[in-house]
Amino acid sequence: MRQFIYLFLLLFVINSFSQGQANNWFFGENAGLDFNSGSPVPINNSRIYTREGCSSFSDSSGDLLFYSDGSTVWNRDHDIMPNGQGMEGSNSSSQSAMIIPRPGNTTEYYIFTVGSAVGSDQLGFFYYTIDMTADGGLGDVVTVANNLMQGVNRNTWTEKVAAVKGNECQTFWAISYTNGTNEFFAYKITTSGVESSPVRSNVSFSANDVRGYLKISPDGKKLAIAHMSDRAILLYDFDDVTGIVSNQRYLTLPATSSNDVFSANRPYGLEFSANSEKLYAHASNDYYNNDGSNNNPINHFSALYQFDINLPTLTQINASRVAIDGANNSRNLYRGALQLGPDKKIYRALSESYNNGFAFLGVIESPEEDGLAANYQHASIDLGGKKSSQGLPPFISSIFSQIEITSTDSSGQTNIINDLDVNLCVGDDFTTLSQLLPGTPIYKWFKDNSTTPFSNDPNISFTNVNASINGLYSVIVESTDICGVVSTLDGEFTIEVYDAPIATQPMDLTLCDDDNNGVMAFDLSSQDGFINSASGMSISYHLS
């Protein structure tokens, strides 16, 4: 009997690199969320007011350090840092800033900024250093802008920046993109600082729009970029050892004529699921008209799409596209960001138009599930009277990375089973297989929130199961990696055992060919009641 087994384990690192660093969000019209309780709680004292770009960072315990819109930096007391104004980012840039801690240093941080071409702002790619020992421990921007464009015309840069942990010990990559040369620039960050020369990857797609998000998958293996007015989402491979971007694949959105101004196929926000197997895109019609009607919500339409990027071919990936919200232009909404949270859910920025925010966020409750089972809930996250706009703070994607868990099904096939439910039939057997960790990791398995572990083995097995094993299972693993970093890995999954359906042998159908023409009609569905009378069962018929 085929069995479906899904497990989840989530990685975070204590005192070095952890999900706590993404626990405080500041965005939109003085909006914010605090995830330290496990669920998002509104923050009511944010100083940020941004239509798009924003960034924030906390320590490993989840205590706020500072936040920024790319041009201004506020400390944890919500005051502007010394030298924290007039920076090269812009609150009209899609991803105005990305914050990265200096490896091997607990007090220095880098802010990478990308600008915009709105008003007096300019495009471009720069970074600054923040010293958290300065200003009585509240922090100070201690360097001027460091130009990262290597002579490329800044007017051809884009509003995109992303970051991921490097494969080597104590390294990160900061990545941006320029339309001028169709290149990704990947800067390596080590204990010595930001390396002076980037890894440059040229790609064949020639984009015209600077807007839209750039994201890297939590496992550091994939990169996705949205070119909004080009109606293009490109998926690439990323090498977290070399920094090279390769293997360009074009993900399709619903096709329309070039003069169709009401179809939601201009991508802006992107995000990967925590297990790096699904990619989500928030696309809109991006309506604009000089007569002022662009600020009328009835002219704006958005849709939320899911792609299964774990499928083996590009044809299959594109065929997997599902609109989990806004199909057939059914959602009046402006463009917006998507961001993975510490709770493994994906949050959606909501805005009625460019100038009109919204008092809630949307959320994808189960991003690893297929299609509509991902369970998108619109306008369900209350912002406590503040408003979302178009942006949400991006983080180093590795903060949300996972340990890989596999299991072998009854046909002998080994599957990656991170982050979904375990559904079994009475009498089934299954075993979890944990990714091998260096050193001597300590495993502790718990059931139904018990404080007493029932197993210390890396893998757990069940044979001839029944409903007595139903419940919530969680594991905590303490390990030291090859970089000498002590980390704690935790995760959970739920088991539910179902009774196996019992099928009754159908009766033979015997009919006479009264007109001797050799043709008879059989209504096979008349056998359904004999085969199984249980509700919710699907019965199909086959020639062999």
Judged by DSSP in three states, 97 sits in: strand
Q: What number is the average pLDDT over the span 58-73?
A: 96
Long-range contacts: 33-39, Cβ < 8 Å, 24+?
A: 33/361, 33/381, 33/383, 35/62, 35/341, 35/342, 35/343, 36/62, 38/343, 39/343
Beta carbons of 265 and 252 less than 8 angstroms apart: no
Query: How confident is the model over 406-432, as pLDDT tens digits?
Result: 777 667 777 777 666 778 889 988 887
For residues 116 and 123, the answer to whether their CB atoms sit within 8 Å is yes
Q: Is residue 534 very low, low, confident or very high in pLDDT (cuts 50, 70, 90)?
A: low
Is the pLDDT at 484 greater than 60? The verdict is yes
**pLDDT over 50 (residue 535):** yes
* The model's pTM: 0.84
**Residue 53 has what pLDDT?**
96
d(Cα 337, Cα 341) in Å, to the nearest integer? 13
54-68, 178-192, 412-426: which has the minimum mean pLDDT? 412-426
Mean pLDDT of the chain: 89
Rounded average pLDDT over 454-481 = 86
User: Average pLDDT for residues 285-298, to the nearest whole number?
Assistant: 86
Contact 64, 46 (CB under 8 A): no
Residue 68 scores a pLDDT above 60: yes
If you ran DSSP here, which 8-state letter would residue 28 be given? T
Please list the residues that pair with 271 across neighbouring strands.
Answer: 280
Q: What is the pLDDT of residues 131-180, one digit of tens each?
A: 999 999 999 999 999 999 999 999 999 999 999 999 888 899 999 999 99
SS3 letters across 183-248: EEEEEEEECCEECCCCEEEECCCCCCCCCCCEEECCCCCEEEEEECCCCEEEEEEECCCCCCEEEE
Find the length of the chain.
Answer: 544
Q: What is the mean pLDDT of residues 112-122?
A: 93
Dihedral, CA atoms, 473, 476, 482, 486, nearest 10 degrees? 160
User: In this model, does residue 533 exceed pLDDT 60?
Assistant: no
**DSSP code, position 514:** T
pLDDT at 514: 78
For residue 511, what pLDDT is reported? Answer: 75
| Mean pLDDT, rounded, for 298-323 | 97
pLDDT at residue number 378? 98
The 8-class DSSP code of residue 47 comes to: -
Beta bridge partners of 278: 308
What is the C-alpha separation between 207 and 156, in angstroms, rounded? 10
Q: Phi and psi (nearest 5°) for 322?
A: -130, 135
Average pLDDT on 448-474 reads 90
pLDDT attached to residue 374: 96
pLDDT for residue 9 is more than 50: no
> How much is the average pLDDT of 111-123?
94
Q: For 79-107, what is the mean pLDDT?
A: 96
Return the pLDDT at 486: 66
- Whether the Cβ atoms of residue 285 and residue 298 lie closer than 8 Å to each other: no
pLDDT of residue 520: 76
Percentage of the chain exceeding pLDDT 70: 91
What is the pLDDT at residue 418? 63
**Which one, of 111, 126, 115, 129, lies nearest residue 55 by Cα?**
111
Question: pLDDT digit string (tens) for 192-220?
Answer: 999 999 999 999 999 999 999 999 999 99
Q: Rounded CA gap, 45 and 35, in Å?
A: 15
243-282: pLDDT as tens digits: 999 999 999 999 876 567 889 999 999 999 988 999 999 9
Predicted local distance difference test score (pLDDT) of residue 15: 36
Residue 96 pLDDT grade (very low, low, confident, very high; cuts 50, 70, 90): very high
